[in-house]
């Protein structure tokens, strides 16, 4: 403004002081009564405080929600679950976890079980114990395969035949050999098969008896020959069906237990319940935050047209007022 120094001096010298009457009027206003009002904070400063505060409150609420909702422990696994997740030890049970056979019916009872043992020495010992268990219940060992190689997990595969009536006890004892990793039971009813076999045997026996009686009488040579052939066939069938019937009864009498003993460690470590609770809390907190975010997003989507209209109105009003000010002050 140096180039306008003289002009500035002249302008400052202009008599523009307020008249005395105005001074008296203004000073007569006195001092406003002090009111306790809330401190004036700009919206930018408010945002700087409010946004982190809201974020902290939201996260705290999510954490509290997660902790509270994880406090209730999950329902225990069903005691009769037949197969555990790979690598996860099945929970010990107070009663037999095996489906018991029906003592009044003939059933084909098949069970398989995988049990983890401590090491190779334990594998041999437990294999022997399993064989003794089968024998102690009146059963026998149908086959044993054991493989132990240095540096590799050892495994023993046993097929045990145990009387059906005592298989449940045997399975409980076998499951005490180590940590049960998996178990499966299959029961097939054999009553229908046995009924059919008995009916066939009875029918064949009747036929054989009648045919034998007829052969004692005098018959034409060709009829006698045909009857003798039929009688022979019936005897063969009777022998076959009788054997099959014996096998079915044997099948119903002895259960088939496939036992695998292994030293292989679980694929995933067994999880403690406390870790599970922490994870549940984190998961619940995360889902709470996600839910809140979804609600916020929904509200934003629903309200966005109104917000856009409001913003446009504010911007338009400001522009209009500025234009009007320029027009008024340009006159």
Partner 1 sequence: MRAVNAVTSSWPGLQVDRPTFASVAERELDAVHRYLVFLTGNRAVAEDLTGETFEKAFRSWPRFDPRRGTPRAWLCRIARSVALDHFRAEERRRRREERYARGAAEVVSEVLGPSALEAALAQLSPAEREVVALRVLLDLDGPTAARVLGISPTACSTRLSRALKRLEELIDDERVR
151 touching partner 1, by CB under 8 A: no
**Are 159 and 140 within 8 A, CB to CB?**
no
Q: How far is CA 37 from the centre of its chain?
A: 58
Stretch that binds partner 1, among 7-15, 78-86, 179-187, 198-206 (CB under 8 A): 7-15
* CB of 22 vs partner 1, minimal distance in Å: 5
> Going residue by residue from 42 to 81, which x/- string records binding to partner 1, judged by CB under 8 A?
x---------------------------------------
Chain residues 268-327 in contact with partner 1, contact rule CB under 8 A: 322, 324-326
32 touching partner 1, by CB under 8 A: yes
27 touching partner 1, by CB under 8 A: yes
23 touching partner 1, by CB under 8 A: yes
* CB of 37 vs partner 1, minimal distance in Å: 5
Measured from the CB atom, the residue of 34 and 151 that comes closer to partner 1 is 34
Which chain residues interact with partner 1 by CB under 8 A? 1, 4, 7-8, 10-12, 14-19, 22-23, 25-27, 29-32, 34-37, 39-40, 42, 322, 324-326, 328-331
């Amino acid at each position: 403004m140096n180039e306008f120094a003289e002009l500035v001096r002249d302008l400052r010298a202009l008599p523009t002081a307020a008249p005395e009457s105005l001074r008296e009027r203004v000073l007569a206003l006195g001092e406003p009564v002090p009111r306790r009002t809330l401190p004036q904070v700009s919206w930018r400063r408010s945002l700087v405080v409010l946004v982190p505060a809201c974020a902290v409150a939201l996260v705290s609420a999510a954490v509290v929600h997660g902790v509270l909702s994880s406090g209730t422990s999950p329902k225990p696994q069903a005691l009769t679950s037949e197969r555990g997740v790979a690598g996860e030890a099945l929970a010990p049970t107070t009663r037999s976890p095996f489906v018991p056979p029906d003592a009044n019916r003939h059933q084909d009872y098949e069970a398989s079980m995988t049990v983890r043992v401590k090491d190779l020495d334990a594998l041999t010992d437990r294999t022997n114990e399993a064989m003794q268990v089968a024998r102690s219940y009146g059963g026998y060992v149908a086959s044993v395969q054991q493989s132990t190689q240095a540096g590799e997990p050892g495994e023993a595969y046993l097929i045990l035949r145990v009387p059906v009536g005592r298989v449940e006890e045997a399975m409980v004892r076998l499951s005490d050999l180590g940590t049960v990793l998996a178990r499966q039971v299959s029961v097939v009813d054999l009553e229908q098969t046995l009924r059919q076999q008995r009916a066939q045997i009875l029918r064949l026996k009747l036929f054989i008896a009648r045919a034998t009686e007829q052969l004692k009488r005098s018959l034409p040579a060709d009829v006698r020959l045909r009857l003798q052939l039929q009688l022979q066939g019936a005897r063969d069938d009777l022998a076959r069906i009788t054997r099959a019937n014996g096998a079915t009864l044997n099948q119903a009498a002895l259960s088939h237990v496939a036992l695998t003993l292994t030293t292989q460690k679980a694929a995933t470590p067994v999880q403690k319940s406390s870790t599970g609770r922490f994870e549940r809390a984190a998961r619940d907190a995360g889902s709470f935050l996600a839910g809140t975010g979804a609600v916020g997003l929904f509200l934003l989507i629903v309200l966005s047209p109104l917000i856009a209209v409001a913003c446009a109105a504010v911007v338009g009003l400001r522009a209009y007022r500025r234009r009007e000010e320029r027009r008024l002050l340009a006159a």
